Structure formats: structure tokens, C-alpha cells
Amino acid sequence: MSNEARQHKFVLRPNACELVLIRHGETQAAKRGEMFPMINGQGDPALRPEGEAQAAAVAARLRHEAIKAIYVTTMQRTHQTAAPLAQALGMTPKVEADLREVFLGEWDGGEFRFRAAENDPAFLRARKKECWGELPGAETFAALQARVVRGLTRIANAHLGESVAVVVHGGVVGAALSYVTGSRNFGFNGADNGSISRIVMGPEGNILRGFNDVAHL
């Protein structure tokens, strides 16, 4: 029997998965009177140069980790953000459609940014009630979180005992971490572009391992 007992070091269980959630890099600015390119009714802007630099920094940060797969959403900003890491690891990202950004209804395509900056009453209600459904025609937080959990669960079940990188959106990070921790709906909104958050999902319980890590930026 040892005479010493060192402090516990986290070890990923073989029946759980570590999901490294990466928020995409900064995208093109919205312009009044012009909608972003659209995909299935949602705005699909590309990365701006600052976002491309953030993507490169993410790759430099994670390239030496034991990542077994990379997932992206249907939106081009996640594909562009994942590209440097995918190249460094020699992987082809897989698409998980349920992890697309929250649908902002009539404000999707760029209008949301202006409405939020102007403190539109509907935006203020959404923030107070912590539900995107207060915006005209938008998806509710409950609907967003339900599909995000479906998508993450599918990924986790396919990669038991492994770590995977998942490039997603700010609203998705918020919904995922709210679910894992049982926090209020918007308790983890505001993840920075290019930030890294970490969760573990498994039958013995979910764990938050990190939120909004930007040390690489």
C-alpha cells in the first residue's frame, strides 16, 4: 500500500466523450439593406480576415491534442474555421445539421445585429425572458436546446472514450453548456469568436470542463 495519495487527475471514462466546442471565427459585417447569403432560411456569412486568423490560432492550439474527429454544421463559417485544424490533423470534417445556429426568424440574415445594437423591444424581451422565441418568427430556446442535445448526443455516442472537435455557433455553445450544467437558459451566452469550451457527455453524468478559453487568441 502506498504511503502517498496524490490529488485526482481527470481521466476520460471509456463510456464518455469529450466534446471540444469551438465557436467559429468572426464573420463578415452586416450591412444595412443587404442580407447575408442564406442557407435553408438562415444567414450564412463567410469569415472575415480576423476570423481566418482566429481559425489558424485554434488549429495551432489543438493540433497536438488527441482529437479523433472534427464536426461542423451546415454553415460555411464553421467549415472555414475547421479547415486549418482539419488540414493539420489530416481529417475530413463531418456535418451535424442539428448544431446549426439558432433560427432568428424575420431577423435572420443580418438584421438581428442591428436590432440588438438598437435595443429593439423584442430583443430586450428575449434577453429578459431568456428565449429567442420572443423575436418575430424565431426558434424558441427550448427547440434550439433540444436539437443541440440530439446532435451532441449522436456525436458522443459515436466516439466513446475519445475527444472530438466540434465547430459550432455562439447560441449553440450557450444551449449546450446550459444543458450540461442545468444553468439558466442564457447563462453561457457570449462565447467569443474562436473560443474553446469543453464538455464531457456520458451515462454517468455530464461535466463542464471549460468555457470561453481564448488563451490562443
Q: CATH number for the domain including 166?
A: 3.40.50.1240
CA dihedral 118, 123, 128, 132 (to 10 degrees): -150
> Exposed/middle/buried for 151, CB within 10 Å: 0-12, 13-18, 19+?
buried
Enter the C-alpha cell of residue 138: 424565431
72 assigned to some structural domain: yes
Q: What is the pLDDT of residue 23?
A: 98
Mean pLDDT of the 108-113 span: 97
117 assigned to some structural domain: no
Residues in the chain: 217
Dist. CA 217–CA 184, nearest whole Å: 28
193 assigned to some structural domain: yes
52 assigned to some structural domain: yes
65 assigned to some structural domain: yes
Task: Find out whether 164 and 71 touch, Cβ atoms under 8 Å.
Answer: yes
**Residue 120 one-letter amino acid:** D
> Which pLDDT band holds residue 163 (cuts at 50, 70, 90)?
very high
Residues pairing with 168 in the sheet: 23
114 assigned to some structural domain: no
Structural domain for 197, as ranges: 17-28+35-103+139-213
Q: What is the pLDDT of residue 201?
A: 98
118 assigned to some structural domain: no
Tally of domains in the chain: 1
152 assigned to some structural domain: yes
